[in-house]
Structures are given as C-alpha cells and as structure tokens.
Chain A
C-alpha cells in the first residue's frame, strides 16, 4: 500500500513538473513525455496491471487539468494502453536488466508511438487536420525525443545495477 502511495505522490509531482519545467526543454513540436516514461517504468517494475491502472489515473488527471476542451478521457485512454503495452516488458526476475538495457528504450519508444498514434486518431476525428500528418509533425518527433531522453534513466539504472 505504502509503495502505491509513494508512486502516486511521485506521479502527482511529475504531472506538475511536466506543466512547468518541461516546456523549457521542448524543441519545436517535439515535447518529451515524462509521464509516459514514468508509466513505462511503473509497468516494467510493477507489472502490466499496475502499469495500466497508473496509466489510466495519470492520464485522467492530465485530462482534468487540461480544461474543458471536450477531450476528457483521451489521455486516460492513451496512457492506460501505453501502460498495458509496456507491461509486456515486465519480467519479475529481470527488472534490473530491462531497466538498464536498450529494452527500456524500446519499451518507451513502442509505448510512445502507440500512445501518440491513438491520441491523434481520436483527437482529430471530425477535424480538417489529417491525423497522419499530425503524427508525422508531432507524434513521431515527440516519440523520438521521449525515447532519447529515456537514455538518462537507463544510464542511471545501468550505473546502479552494475
């Protein structure tokens, strides 16, 4: 129980962090998704079920603080799916290996790509903007940036576990 409270507290701090400081590291359309990285970490260390539930809760909170733009539930849907996909990288006896190897980057990249694709397909339905062009212009740069940034925690885990 205490572990989940701790994860929830860190999640809250990261949500606030991602709306204040992360804007300063955005490069053009590419915005790193720290929350997604965190959800992947939770899924790898706690399992698919926890990853999905945390993905849903974090996404819902992000939707709530995004204002009334008719998209409440969008981030919750995308992030719970991202948590579920990242959960496939969970192996109880290989957590350290996964976190400190390129598997972690692969998990972040795959989840981010799926998350962004689903996000734009739903977000742009009924609009004049094509979802494919939005994925190319926003989704892929953000996915690459998030994956590149995941090298930092991966290196830290590598140093810690080796």
Chain B
C-alpha cells in the first residue's frame, strides 16, 4: 500500500493532468444538463455583476468615438426619415389593396453589453437583461443596424448572447431582391458566408440579406447584411457568396432582445412529419 502511495506521489502531476483531461472530455460530451445550466446561471450572475460594475471603463474610452458615429448617423437618418414617410404611406395603401394581414408588432427588451467574451471563433456577449425581463433561450439579438446573434444562456438579471461571428451560428436567410433562400454561416474573418445558393441565381453585389420566414428562431425581415462578393468556380453547383454583416461587432455596446417565441404548433407539426 505504502509503495503504491509512493508511486502515486511520484507521478501526481501526471495523474492530476489525466484527471483534468478526463473531466474536461466528460464535460464536452455531457454539456447541457440541468445541473450544468444551474451552475452556469450562478456563474453568469456573479461575473455579470462585476462586469456591470466595471462597465464605466469601456464607456469612457468609447464615448468620443460613439458621439462621432451618432452625429454621422443622425444626418443619414434625417434623410432616410423623409423617404420612409413616403414609403409608409405607399405601404398602407398597398396593404389595404391586397388586404394583407397586418404583421404582428415585435416586442423588444433593451440591454447593455456588460462583457465581451472574445475567445477565437467563439464570440459571445453578456447583457444586463435576463429571465426577469422576459429573455429566454434562442431569442434573437438585434441592433438598430440588424441581426447581431441569439441568446444561448439566461440567468435572473443577465443573459449570454452568441454573436453571428461564431462557428456554430446558422440562420435561414433570404436574398431580398431575388427571394432566394439560403443558409448563413461564418467560417472566420470579417465576412459571413451564404451557403446553398444555386449558380443560376442572379445575385448582385450590394443585395440585401434578411432573415427568412423559414427560421424557427428568427422572425422574418431582420436585416443581416449586404452581399460583398460573388464567386462562381468552374464546375461548382453553388456560388461562393460573402456577406458584410450589417452590425459592426467591434462597436457593439447596446442590443435589443426580440421577445420572439417560435410557433410551437409549427415546430410540433414539422417534427411530426420528420
């Protein structure tokens, strides 16, 4: 026994490393159990509270920058408002003509970003709105510019949002002008990628990408970005399309959580058919 303990003591560093590796691998395969969700909720609250207290530091540094951007945006918005006013009147007239059902207004919860977890290809943000404000798992995150991500974890007063610039992020989108449905993904870099766009589709640089009605997570019509480049390789069935995100992730400070719940009847029906 003593000899055994001596051997253990001699290799304790290796044994501890092996134990750590085993636990890590076990966690990687377990992941989303209720116990882990509870631990995550406690950790998010603890870190979010301190991040909130340190929130003044980023605000101080970015205030000047933000003012300049807001002034610029104000000028462009003023001209856009007059255009939108005309469009709205036209829209009302056309809706009446077509007797379209009025789309339900979406409810939003405003939140500040109190922490940015910038691990390579795994960006997430901590926001100061959580379950108490009605924020739930998978709700979309947007800014005034467009889609920013989705909620992946919630606690009482805080939640964690996964940004578009995450290797696991996928969204069903549509090219607004051509009405071509495709899948949005990110594989590194500053641009998003459009997948499954057939080579016959007439796509132009500058075309706007919005979320499609096919998604169970995102309501349709949220701007995602604009097409930055279109490439067609010889013999390929699909086009390689890069999309510039509408949201500037380096300057992300406030977001809105869209209180959008997926249609449970629709999901149930789709699952039944599957």
Chain A residues within 8 Å of B, Cβ to Cβ:
12-13, 15-17, 19-24, 26, 29, 31, 48-49, 52-53, 55-56, 59-77, 80-81, 84, 87, 116, 119-120, 122-124, 127-129, 133-134, 137-139, 142
**Are B20's CB and A53's CB within 8 A?**
yes
A89, chain B: closest CB distance, angstroms: 13
Q: How far is the CA of A154 from the CA of B118 in the complex (A)?
A: 25
Give the nearest-CB partner of A13 in chain B.
B50
State whether the Cβ of B39 lies closer than 8 Å to any Cβ in chain A: yes
Task: Report how many residues on chain B are interfacial, defined by Cβ distance under 8 Å.
Answer: 53
Of residues 216 through 240 on chain B, the ones whose CB sits less than 8 Å from some CB of chain A are none
Give the nearest-CB partner of A31 in chain B.
B118
**Are A20's CB and B120's CB within 8 A?**
no
Q: How far is the CA of A124 from the CA of B188 in the complex (A)?
A: 11
State whether the Cβ of B61 lies closer than 8 Å to any Cβ in chain A: yes
B196, chain A: closest CB distance, angstroms: 13
B37 contact set on A, CB distance < 8 A: 68
B121 contact set on A, CB distance < 8 A: 120, 123-124, 129, 134, 138
Q: How far is the CA of A76 from the CA of B24 in the complex (A)?
A: 6
Q: How far is the CA of A59 from the CA of B36 in the complex (A)?
A: 15
**Are A80's CB and B122's CB within 8 A?**
no
**How many interface contacts (CB-CB < 8 Å) are there between A and B?**
167
A20 contact set on B, CB distance < 8 A: 51, 54-55, 57-58, 114-116
A128 contact set on B, CB distance < 8 A: 185, 187
Q: How far is the CA of A55 from the CA of B189 in the complex (A)?
A: 28
Which of A73, A80, A120: most chain B CB closer than 10 A?
A: A73
State whether the Cβ of B28 lies closer than 8 Å to any Cβ in chain A: yes
B194, chain A: closest CB distance, angstroms: 13
Which of B28, B30, B51, B168: most chain A CB closer than 10 A?
A: B28
**Are B116's CB and A23's CB within 8 A?**
yes
A48 contact set on B, CB distance < 8 A: 13
23 pairs, A vs B, C-beta closer than 8 Å: A16-B47, A16-B54, A19-B116, A21-B54, A21-B57, A24-B61, A31-B119, A53-B20, A66-B117, A67-B40, A68-B137, A69-B168, A70-B32, A71-B28, A72-B31, A73-B24, A76-B24, A76-B27, A80-B24, A116-B120, A128-B185, A129-B187, A137-B188
Rank and list the top 6 A-B pairs by shortest CB-CB distance, nearest first.
Answer: A73-B27, A77-B24, A67-B160, A67-B152, A80-B20, A19-B115
**A52-B20, A66-B117 known; A72-B28 Cβ under 8 A:** yes
Chain B residues within 8 Å of A, Cβ to Cβ:
12-13, 16-17, 20-21, 23-28, 30-32, 36-37, 39-40, 43-44, 47, 50-51, 54-55, 57-58, 61, 114-122, 124, 126, 137, 152-153, 160-162, 166-168, 185, 187-189
**Are B57's CB and A49's CB within 8 A?**
no
B156, chain A: closest CB distance, angstroms: 15
Give the nearest-CB partner of B160 in chain A.
A67
**Are A81's CB and B58's CB within 8 A?**
no
B26 contact set on A, CB distance < 8 A: 73
B21, chain A: closest CB distance, angstroms: 6
B19, chain A: closest CB distance, angstroms: 9
B162 contact set on A, CB distance < 8 A: 67, 69
Q: How far is the CA of A67 from the CA of B21 in the complex (A)?
A: 21
Q: How far is the CA of A76 from the CA of B58 in the complex (A)?
A: 28
The residue that A16 contacts in the complex, of B23, B50, B118, B168, with Cβ under 8 A, is: B50
**Are B61's CB and A66's CB within 8 A?**
no
**Are B118's CB and A22's CB within 8 A?**
yes
**Are A65's CB and B188's CB within 8 A?**
no
Q: How far is the CA of A24 from the CA of B253 in the complex (A)?
A: 12
A25, chain B: closest CB distance, angstroms: 11
Given contacts A66-B119, A68-B152, list 19 more A-B pairs with CB under 8 A. A16-B50, A19-B115, A21-B58, A29-B120, A49-B16, A52-B20, A53-B16, A67-B124, A69-B122, A69-B124, A69-B166, A72-B27, A74-B28, A80-B17, A84-B17, A87-B13, A124-B121, A127-B167, A129-B188
Q: How far is the CA of A25 from the CA of B100 in the complex (A)?
A: 50
**A52-B16, A68-B152, A137-B189 known; A75-B119 Cβ under 8 A:** yes
